[in-house]
Amino acid sequence: MSALSEFDIIRVYFQKNTVKRGDVVLGIGDDAALLQCAPDQLLVAATDTLIENVHFPKETRAEDIAYKALAVNLSDLAAMGAEPLWFLLALTLPTADARWLEAFSQGLFELARPYDLQLAGGDTTRGPLSITIQVLGRVPSQQALLRSGAQSGDKIYVSGTLGDAGLGLKLCQRGIKLPEEAGQFFLERLHRPQPQIQLGLLLRGGANSAIDLSDGLVADLGHLLTSSQVGARIEVNQLPLSPHLKAALPLEEAQGLALHAGDDYELCFTVPEKEETRLLRQIHAAGFSCTAIGEIRETQGLELVGYSRPLVQAGYRHFP
Amino acid sequence: MSALSEFDIIRVYFQKNTVKRGDVVLGIGDDAALLQCAPDQLLVAATDTLIENVHFPKETRAEDIAYKALAVNLSDLAAMGAEPLWFLLALTLPTADARWLEAFSQGLFELARPYDLQLAGGDTTRGPLSITIQVLGRVPSQQALLRSGAQSGDKIYVSGTLGDAGLGLKLCQRGIKLPEEAGQFFLERLHRPQPQIQLGLLLRGGANSAIDLSDGLVADLGHLLTSSQVGARIEVNQLPLSPHLKAALPLEEAQGLALHAGDDYELCFTVPEKEETRLLRQIHAAGFSCTAIGEIRETQGLELVGYSRPLVQAGYRHFP
């Protein structure tokens, strides 16, 4: 049993380790943080909670829990084309375990540091393990990427590869056997999603709309289509699958994961024809991979071409 | 069992009911909210979590849980002298119960509406009942009230009365018997704390420091003293006690609650002599009650005058 108070926890594991930014007038240690906003930009705010046994299995390492809790929040900012600046951490712990906290803090700042993202405040309480992060960022007015901007005729793109995190989750849940290296790859994709911040910044002023893939392509693209009041046609054989996923599963099963499994945290975005060449050149020049998977059309609904299984519209639902 | 999805929950109980502000460019329904900051003001950000059986008993009504979850966050902004603008809600629920959600939403917006405070986003997940709110506000640069500004010679003030919520908690926990009206008073003070936003705005530019009383006067004033590197002398017989509290308990017990019990969410602030007359006139003209309870002095430590019980320095600790 540890004698750490919540004040020790904040000071020792969090306040000390965060990067310090010049636009944080007052960080951890008062009733609230004081932050300096840029005059010509919009503030971008998102929050996401991860809960033990809901968002991650009980055995997940503390550094991975922290990494993912921050990554899923950053992913929301990426989908807006925003630059992350600051975050708040509400951490609920059953006990104050120094080793666990050390690892958690390390995973958290491992992701925060390269983005020069400062932990500016938070709250530590006792209870069932749960992490809520609120991330704050900025985007120039008029340049934010919305779900509602897709236009008929836009090409639909996704970044990276899809379905890998879905197989990672199956590995955790069912103990599927895979060669060591492949297993590691899928677990890494599940536990350490890479928020597509840099790609989001590139898409500003080029893409018509964007969303991040947290609940699965069909579900999340569905939100984008609803917001934009349009439909889409997806070429299932164009879905980008990793070599590991293609090796691990029959094609149709791999495609099923790419369509319906969540947790990839890639971006799905739509691009008007006139911007396509320029934008793709920039994306590839910056070293990002993205793949055209279909097209936005006026007729509402989502058509999957080249896929014989029945379409499951829902992604993960918390209250089935 | 309900068939509400998290999307229904957000739409039906939250998106529809929130006030809409002109500086919210994009609210609920995308990956993040887009908010317009005032160019000459600092952004103020705070977060607090309430957890069932830790911060409120299991039988607490949904509308009271929501009210208090928002109130404790607003109280942090009050302690900074900030004006609240927007909030995000991370709500974790064991089940999606329509009646519970209706009541929760009602309690939430009952408090938010008078402040013209817009719910701009959030996250709904399944798990043990827990509410994390992040509140965002603004304060003109240089006018924020800090914990660290207290100066030797400042008078120490508290708003309202102290210890009432502490007795409310005892009523919940131990089934102490009290006359109906008194019982109601203490429970109201526990479940429906009034964030001192208006008072915080008045204190700008007059008080040297402020903190809100969440953990109890001795603990919270202790934070303020530590931040300011000063000490204090408190006249225990000056502590403002409600008539109900004086009627319910022997004086020394009532004073014990006023010193050590949490959850009052009154403000404790320090005022330099030269500002005292002017500031008090304004405070009283605005209809607020506040009481001088002691003085800041250079010698560190907290001296309680007129109190014979041993001094308990700690407030509520989550990890004892």
Q: Looking at residue B128, what is its pLDDT?
A: 94
| B238 phi and psi angles, rounded to 5 deg | -90, -10
Query: If you measure CA to CA, which chain B residue comes closest to A142?
Result: B25
Distance, in Å, from the CA atom of A135 to the CA atom of A158, rounded to the nearest integer, reads: 23
| B6 phi and psi angles, rounded to 5 deg | -65, -25
Q: Looking at residue B173, what is its pLDDT?
A: 83
- Test B96 with A319 for CB contact under 8 angstroms: yes
- Test A5 with B317 for CB contact under 8 angstroms: yes
State yes or no: pLDDT of A1 exceeds 80: no
**Segments in chain B below pLDDT 50:** 1-2, 314
Residue B1 touches partner A, C-beta closer than 8 Å: no
Name the DSSP class of A302.
E
Interface of A with B in 99-158 (CB under 8 A): 120-128, 130, 132, 134, 136-137, 139, 141, 144, 146-148
Strands, DSSP E only, in chain A? 24-26, 33-35, 41-51, 83-93, 118-126, 130-140, 155-159, 209-212, 231-235, 267-271, 290-297, 301-305
Residue B229 touches partner A, C-beta closer than 8 Å: no
Q: Looking at residue A308, what is its pLDDT?
A: 77
Residues of B in contact with A222 (CB under 8 A): none
Query: If you measure CA to CA, which chain B residue comes closest to A43?
Result: B35
Residue A257 touches partner B, C-beta closer than 8 Å: no
Q: Find out whether B52 and B128 touch, Cβ atoms under 8 Å.
A: yes
Residues of B in contact with A51 (CB under 8 A): 92, 125-128
Distance, in Å, from the CA atom of B161 to the CA atom of B168, rounded to the nearest integer, reads: 13
- Cα–Cα distance list, A312 to A223, A257, A303, A308, B201 (Å): 14, 11, 12, 12, 53
| B70 phi and psi angles, rounded to 5 deg | -75, -40
Name the DSSP class of A32.
S
- Test B35 with A44 for CB contact under 8 angstroms: yes
Of A45, A52, A132, the CB nearest to B132: A132
Residue A310: band (very low, low, confident or very high) from pLDDT cuts 50, 70, 90: low
- Cα–Cα distance list, B20 to A164, B109, B119, B270 (Å): 40, 12, 8, 36
pTM for the whole structure? 0.94
A30-58 residue pLDDT tens: 999 999 999 899 999 999 999 999 899 88
Residue B44 touches partner A, C-beta closer than 8 Å: yes
Distance, in Å, from the CA atom of B119 to the CA atom of B19, rounded to the nearest integer, reads: 8
| B219 phi and psi angles, rounded to 5 deg | -70, -45
- Test A33 with B26 for CB contact under 8 angstroms: no
- Test B47 with A90 for CB contact under 8 angstroms: yes
Residues of A in contact with B96 (CB under 8 A): 318-319
> Counting one residue from A and one from B, how many pairs have CB atoms under 8 Å apart?
226
Query: If you measure CA to CA, which chain A residue comes closest to B78?
Result: A31
| Rounded mean pLDDT, A98-109 | 96
State yes or no: pLDDT of A314 exceeds 60: no
Give the other-Cβ count within 10 Å of A5's Cβ.
16
Distance, in Å, from the CA atom of B84 to the CA atom of B117, rounded to the nearest integer, reads: 6
ipTM over 0.90: yes
Query: If you measure CA to CA, which chain A residue comes closest to B8?
Result: A319
Give the minimum alpha-carbon distance from B312 to chain A in angstroms, rounded to a whole number.
16
| Rounded mean pLDDT, A203-210 | 95
Query: If you measure CA to CA, which chain A residue comes closest to B317?
Result: A5
- Test A77 with B31 for CB contact under 8 angstroms: yes
A213-247 residue pLDDT tens: 999 999 999 999 999 999 999 999 999 999 999 99
- Test B45 with A120 for CB contact under 8 angstroms: yes
Place of tokens 């502490």: B166
- Test B6 with A317 for CB contact under 8 angstroms: yes
Residues of A in contact with B125 (CB under 8 A): 49, 51, 54-55, 318
Disruptive mutation site among A35, A47, A100 for chain B (greatest number of B CBs within 10 Å): A47
Residue A165 touches partner B, C-beta closer than 8 Å: no
- Test B125 with A25 for CB contact under 8 angstroms: no
User: Is beta strand B301-305 parallel, antiparallel or unpaired with respect to B33-35?
Assistant: unpaired
Question: Is residue A45 helix, strand or coil?
Answer: strand
Instruction: Name B130's Cβ contacts closer than 8 Å, sequence gap at least 6.
Output: A92, A127, A128, A130, B49, B50, B51, B52, B92
Residues of A in contact with B122 (CB under 8 A): 47
Taking chain B, what is the end-to-end CA distance rounded to the nearest angstrom? 38
User: A16-30, A118-132, A257-271, B302-316: which range is least confident on average?
Assistant: B302-316
| Percent of chain A's residues with pLDDT above 70 | 95
Q: Among A127, A94, A129, A125, which Cα is nearest to A10's?
A: A125
Residue A88 touches partner B, C-beta closer than 8 Å: yes
Query: If you measure CA to CA, which chain A residue comes closest to B138?
Result: A34
Give the minimum alpha-carbon distance from B309 to chain A in angstroms, rounded to a whole number.
24
Query: If you measure CA to CA, which chain A residue comes closest to B134?
Result: A134
Residue A2: band (very low, low, confident or very high) from pLDDT cuts 50, 70, 90: very low
Residue B212 touches partner A, C-beta closer than 8 Å: yes
Residue B85 touches partner A, C-beta closer than 8 Å: no
- Test B148 with A30 for CB contact under 8 angstroms: yes
Q: Find out whether B270 and B203 touch, Cβ atoms under 8 Å.
A: no
Distance, in Å, from the CA atom of A217 to the CA atom of B162, rounded to the nearest integer, reads: 54
Residue A137 pairs in a beta bridge with A44, A84
- Test B90 with A90 for CB contact under 8 angstroms: yes
State yes or no: pLDDT of A260 exceeds 70: yes
Residues of A in contact with B29 (CB under 8 A): 147, 227
Give the minimum alpha-carbon distance from A44 to chain B in angstroms, rounded to a whole number.
5
Give the other-Cβ count within 10 Å of B94's Cβ.
13
Residues of B in contact with A85 (CB under 8 A): none
Residue A4: band (very low, low, confident or very high) from pLDDT cuts 50, 70, 90: confident
Residues of A in contact with B222 (CB under 8 A): none
**Burial (CB count within 10 angstroms: exposed 0-12, middle 13-18, buried 19+), residue B313:** exposed
A134-166 residue pLDDT tens: 999 999 989 999 999 999 999 999 999 999 999
Q: Looking at residue B313, what is its pLDDT?
A: 53
Give the minimum alpha-carbon distance from B33 to chain A in angstroms, rounded to a whole number.
5
Residue A4 touches partner B, C-beta closer than 8 Å: yes
Distance, in Å, from the CA atom of B84 to the CA atom of B89, rounded to the nearest integer, reads: 15
